[in-house]
Chains A and B, each alone.
Chain A
Amino acid sequence: MASEFFPTRRTMIAGSIGTGLAASPLSAFAQSGPGAAPASPNAPGAAEITVDQAHTAPIPIAIPSFGPGIGDQITQVISDDLGGSGLFRVLGSAASAGGSGTPDFSSYRSIGAQALAAGNASAGGDLRVEFRLWDVLAGQQIQGTAYTTSAANWRRIAHKIADVIYQRMLGEKGYFDTRIAYVARSGPRGRQQTRLAIMDQDGANSRYLTSGRWLVLTPRFHPTRDEIAFMSYANDRPRVYLFDLASGREEVLGEFEGISFAPRFSPDGGSVVLSATRGGGSDIFRVDLASRSSTRLTSSGSIDTSPCFSPDGSQIVFNSDRGGSPQLYVMSASGGAARRISYGSGQYGSPVWSPRGDLIAFTRIGGAGFSIGVMMPDGTGERILTQGFTVESPTFCPNGRVMAYCRQSAAGAGGAGFSTSLATIDIAGFNDHALRMAGGASDPAWSPING
């Protein structure tokens, strides 16, 4: 069962050997009199509301407590996930929990709830969480699931429940059971200590992966394995490394004559694109992970960097100053002719292709400062989403609806007042807010789903 839920990467902390997580359907309570056919436990979608509609009219959802102690904690995480997305309005638990039995729908209707997430958590040895999502207006169960796992996994269960609610209500996969890798920053601005770090997408469970001895930059998640590519200045030799999250082992990726940097995995996980300095510029290479052979994709003599695959793997968007100033270009994944797609005033950089394929996010620099925007892959439809003194390094969540990015303040004399932090913003430009974290951070990289 567990393998059905985690086909690829991060495994649950097992309560006992071989049991990461079990999930089983909970049947619906009968809603009609005797003789009526039992309702399906997971009724076909209530997903008649689109994400775009929910932007302007967040879905009112009641989430009464799942019980004292760990139940309360789980309820809080679910509420924070859904409320924080800007697409749900979480209602106070005015009505009673109704963790078992049929809820009193009239009381939820009276507080304006459209949906009800009800459940209970019991932690005697293993944690068991029963969860039901109800359509309050129709009085029907939309989803019912019981999770059994180690109590240490309580946050992940909460995120999984939030993902189920998001998907059933909006018809798109959620992104709450994910992590963000980043660079943790501390110390004086002139020589910051940088450590590779990883946390849950909501900022919880943050931990360092490297010691801080060397400058590290630009972590990027492997699409299926529990692995990160990043840049390290270890031994004063800056280049791209792979970091195995399970073992903590690092290894250099490829041998290049110059500095190798700006890695990104291909969508199939079989290769990495990166750039390597040569003379006065940098070339883009593709490194095959099985054979470790490298193929040069550009050799313009200019700076070609920040390559990122389209989600179908057929194209690469990258940053180049071949035309005189840093701009965005798209080429075939096998190299060759590139066409410029950025034409606004100023400079462009750090392009990243949306997992949905329909947008390219970028950093734009000009005039008053930095901005982050999106455009279509042909360069049309550019929209600026957020601005600031420095805003850069956008990274998409797995469903492509939200980006995390780095926001830095202008420093005063001697570096006074400098701050570097992470924020998230919806691709519609809604819901721009800082992530709650202790300490400075930059270079966010959002994991795949269940990553």
Chain B
Amino acid sequence: MKLKLLGAIGLAAMLAACSGENANTGAASGMGASAAPTGAAAPGSEADLVANVGDRVYYALNESTLSSDAQGTLDRQAAWLARYPQVTIQVAGNCDDRGTEEFNIALGERRANAARDYLVSKGVSAGRITTISYGKDRPTALGDDEQSWQQNRNAITAVH
């Protein structure tokens, strides 16, 4: 029962947070070309998202600006979400380990919010999206080199 209550509060908070936000502008026009599902992934599943849409976008050092590549990926996510309206998602922001733990929690959330706001600007209902930040605590690439750090500065969309 506690979980249920917290969920409701979280949703309300999310809606409140979104209402004051202006969506990013300058996005590529249209909903983007959506690739036809391939492989064995069930349509509308996490595996489908990863294999056929692209589940993550990358950021520059200390930045949360969406590159044109990132916008293209989010355009495809928005189109995919339009096709599967029952799907809700969580966008998780992450950082490389070249910042302090606490600052990176906020930076990861800033990145997740940038992706979330872009999706909302493309017509995805804010109520379908939650965000979270893991700071530097959930690295995708496990090494400490430029290439790993690039991979770890991201926002990852997951079916929730």
Say whether A associates with B.
yes
Q: Which residues of A contact B (CB under 8 A)?
A: 188-192, 194, 215, 217-218, 231, 233, 235-238, 255-259, 261-262, 275, 277-282, 303, 305-306, 319, 321, 325-326, 347, 349-350, 363, 365, 389-390, 392-393, 408, 410-415, 418, 442-443
Number of contact residues on B: which range applies?
35 or more
Inter-subunit contact B143/A415 (CB<8 Å)? yes
Inter-subunit contact A235/B6 (CB<8 Å)? yes
A303 CA / B101 CA spacing, docked (Å): 13
Inter-subunit contact B110/A281 (CB<8 Å)? yes
Inter-subunit contact B101/A218 (CB<8 Å)? yes
Q: How far is the CB of A370 from chain B (nearest CB, A)?
A: 8
Inter-subunit contact A258/B144 (CB<8 Å)? no
For A237, what are the chain B residues with a Cβ–Cβ distance below 8 Å?
6, 10
Q: Which 10 A-B pairs have the closest CB atoms?
A: A415-B142, A349-B100, A257-B13, A410-B144, A303-B106, A282-B106, A277-B109, A262-B102, A280-B110, A350-B100
Q: How far is the CB of B151 from chain A (nearest CB, A)?
A: 11
For A258, what are the chain B residues with a Cβ–Cβ distance below 8 Å?
13, 17, 109
Partner of B17, one of A238, A257, A306: A257
A364 nearest in chain B by CB position: B100
Partner of B9, one of A189, A190, A255, A389: A255
For A238, what are the chain B residues with a Cβ–Cβ distance below 8 Å?
105, 132-133
Inter-subunit contact A279/B102 (CB<8 Å)? no
Q: Which residues of B contact A (CB under 8 A)?
A: 3, 6, 9-10, 13-14, 16-17, 20-21, 62, 64, 90, 97-103, 105-107, 109-110, 113-114, 132-135, 137-140, 142-144
Query: Given contacts A238-B133, A411-B143, are A261 and B13 in contact (CB under 8 A)?
Result: no
A415 CA / B16 CA spacing, docked (Å): 40
Inter-subunit contact B6/A411 (CB<8 Å)? no
A252 nearest in chain B by CB position: B6
Partner of B142, one of A189, A259, A442: A189
Query: Given contacts A235-B3, A259-B109, are A190 and B139 in contact (CB under 8 A)?
Result: yes
Inter-subunit contact B143/A217 (CB<8 Å)? no
Q: List 23 A-B contacts (CB under 8 A).
A: A189-B139, A190-B138, A190-B142, A217-B101, A233-B132, A235-B3, A236-B90, A237-B6, A277-B106, A277-B110, A278-B17, A281-B106, A303-B103, A305-B106, A321-B62, A347-B99, A349-B102, A350-B103, A365-B99, A365-B100, A411-B144, A414-B143, A415-B143
Inter-subunit contact A279/B113 (CB<8 Å)? yes
Partner of A413, one of B103, B113, B137, B143: B143
A233 CA / B103 CA spacing, docked (Å): 16
Q: How far is the CB of A300 from chain B (nearest CB, A)?
A: 12
A413 CA / B144 CA spacing, docked (Å): 8
For A412, what are the chain B residues with a Cβ–Cβ distance below 8 Å?
143-144
Inter-subunit contact B101/A350 (CB<8 Å)? yes
For B99, what are the chain A residues with a Cβ–Cβ distance below 8 Å?
326, 347, 349, 365
B64 nearest in chain A by CB position: A280
Q: How far is the CB of B148 from chain A (nearest CB, A)?
A: 8
For B142, what are the chain A residues with a Cβ–Cβ distance below 8 Å?
188-190, 411, 413-415, 418
A218 CA / B106 CA spacing, docked (Å): 14
Query: Given contacts A218-B101, A238-B132, are A303 and B144 in contact (CB under 8 A)?
Result: no
For A392, what are the chain B residues with a Cβ–Cβ distance below 8 Å?
100-101
Q: How far is the CB of A302 from chain B (nearest CB, A)?
A: 9
A449 CA / B140 CA spacing, docked (Å): 41
Inter-subunit contact B102/A306 (CB<8 Å)? yes
For A443, what are the chain B residues with a Cβ–Cβ distance below 8 Å?
101
A305 CA / B142 CA spacing, docked (Å): 27
Inter-subunit contact A393/B143 (CB<8 Å)? no
Inter-subunit contact A350/B102 (CB<8 Å)? yes
A280 nearest in chain B by CB position: B110
For B144, what are the chain A residues with a Cβ–Cβ distance below 8 Å?
389, 410-412, 418
Query: Given contacts A192-B137, A255-B9, A257-B13, are A306 and B143 in contact (CB under 8 A)?
Result: no
Q: How far is the CB of A138 from chain B (nearest CB, A)?
A: 50
For B109, what are the chain A residues with a Cβ–Cβ distance below 8 Å?
258-259, 277, 282
A106 CA / B4 CA spacing, docked (Å): 75
Partner of A259, one of B21, B98, B132, B140: B132
Query: Given contacts A257-B16, A303-B107, are A279 and B100 in contact (CB under 8 A)?
Result: no
For B139, what are the chain A residues with a Cβ–Cβ distance below 8 Å?
189-190
A278 nearest in chain B by CB position: B17
For A282, what are the chain B residues with a Cβ–Cβ distance below 8 Å?
106, 109
A45 CA / B147 CA spacing, docked (Å): 60
Inter-subunit contact B103/A326 (CB<8 Å)? yes
Inter-subunit contact B17/A393 (CB<8 Å)? no
A389 nearest in chain B by CB position: B144
For A325, what are the chain B residues with a Cβ–Cβ distance below 8 Å?
62
For A280, what are the chain B residues with a Cβ–Cβ distance below 8 Å?
64, 110, 113-114
A55 CA / B10 CA spacing, docked (Å): 53
Inter-subunit contact B97/A390 (CB<8 Å)? yes
A175 CA / B3 CA spacing, docked (Å): 42
A149 CA / B157 CA spacing, docked (Å): 57
A339 CA / B140 CA spacing, docked (Å): 37
